[in-house]
Chains A and B, each alone.
Chain A
Amino acid sequence: MKPLAGLALVLLVPAAAAVSLLVGGTPLSIEQVAGALAHPHRADTLNVIVWQLRLPRVCIAATVGAALALCGAMLQGMLRNPLADPYLTGVSAGAAAAIAIAMLAGASAAAIPAIGFVAGLGAALLVAALARRGSGIDANRLILAGVSLSTLFAAIVTLAVVRAQSSNYAGTIVAWLAGSIAGRGWHDLLTTAPYLAAGTFLALLSIAPLNALRIGDLRARAVGVDVERAQWVILAGSSLFAASSVVLAGLVGFIGLIVPHLARRIAGSNAVALLPACAAIGAALCMLADAVCRSIVAPAELPIGVLLAFIGVPTFLYLYLRPATAAARSARR
Chain B
Amino acid sequence: MIELHDVALEIGGHPLLSGLSARIGAHELVAVVGPNGVGKTTLLRALAGLHRTVDGVVRVDGVAIDAMTAFERARRIALVTADDVLLDALAVRDVVAIGRFAHHRWWQWRTREDDDAAVTRALDAVAMSDFGDRLFASLSSGERQRVWIALGLAQETPILLLDEPTSHLDLRVAHEILALLRELASSGKLVVCALHDVNEAAAYADRIALLGNGTMLALEPPEALLNDARLDGVYGIALERIRLPSGSLRIYASDGRRASQVSS
Contacts and interface: CB of A to CB of B under 8 A. Distances in A.
B85 A207 contact: no
Nearest to A264: B89
B101 A208 contact: yes
Contacts of A205: 106
Contact of A218 (B50, B69, B98): B50
Contacts of A269: 88-90
A322 interface: no
Contacts of A212: 98, 101
A224 B102 contact: yes
A222 B50 CA distance: 7
B133 to A, nearest CB: 13
User: Which of A211, A223, A226, A268 has most B Cβ within 10 Å?
Assistant: A223
A223 to B, nearest CB: 4
B71 A224 contact: yes
Given A204-B107, A205-B106, A219 B85 contact: yes
A214 B87 contact: yes
A194 interface: no
Nearest to A134: B52
Interface string B29-62: 0000000000000000000101000000000000
Interface in A212-252: 212, 214-216, 218-226
A272 B109 contact: yes
Contacts of B100: 223
B104 interface: yes
Interface in B140-187: 148, 151-152, 155
Interface in B47-98: 48, 50, 69-71, 73-75, 78-81, 83, 85, 87-90, 94-95, 98
A221 B70 contact: yes
Given A222-B81, A223-B99, A264-B89, 15 more contacts: A204-B107, A208-B106, A215-B90, A215-B151, A219-B148, A220-B98, A222-B80, A222-B152, A223-B98, A223-B100, A223-B101, A223-B102, A269-B89, A271-B109, A272-B110
A219 B99 CA distance: 9
Contacts of B78: 222-223
Contacts of A215: 85, 87, 90, 95, 98, 151
Interface of A: 204-205, 207-208, 211-212, 214-216, 218-226, 264, 268-272
B187 to A, nearest CB: 22
A225 B101 contact: yes
Contact of B48 (A211, A222, A226, A270): A222
Nearest to B103: A224
A219 B104 CA distance: 17
A308 B54 CA distance: 53
A268 B74 contact: no
Contacts of B75: 224
21 contacts: A207-B106, A214-B90, A214-B98, A215-B87, A216-B85, A219-B81, A220-B98, A222-B48, A222-B50, A222-B74, A222-B78, A223-B78, A223-B99, A223-B100, A223-B151, A224-B74, A226-B69, A226-B71, A264-B89, A269-B90, A271-B109
Contacts, number: 76
A222 B76 CA distance: 11
Contacts of B88: 269
A205 B109 CA distance: 10
User: Which of A214, A215, A220, A224 has most B Cβ within 10 Å?
Assistant: A224
Contacts of A264: 89
A208 B87 contact: no
B70 A211 contact: no
A313 to B, nearest CB: 22
Contacts of B95: 215
A226 B68 CA distance: 11
Contacts of B98: 211-212, 214-215, 219-220, 223
B230 to A, nearest CB: 32
A170 B102 CA distance: 54
B50 A223 contact: no
Contact of B94 (A221, A223, A270): A270
Contacts of B79: 222
A214 B136 CA distance: 12
Nearest to B161: A222
User: Which of A215, A216, A270 has most B Cβ within 10 Å?
Assistant: A215
A277 to B, nearest CB: 14
A271 B152 CA distance: 22
Contacts of B148: 219
Interface string B92-128: 0011001111101011111000000000000000000
A-B pairs with the 9 shortest C-beta distances? Answer: A224-B74, A224-B102, A216-B85, A222-B79, A226-B70, A223-B101, A272-B109, A212-B101, A224-B101
Nearest to A213: B98
Contacts of A222: 48, 50, 74, 78-81, 152
Given A212-B98, A218-B50, A223 B104 contact: no
B94 A219 contact: no
A109 to B, nearest CB: 41
A223 B48 CA distance: 10
Nearest to B109: A272
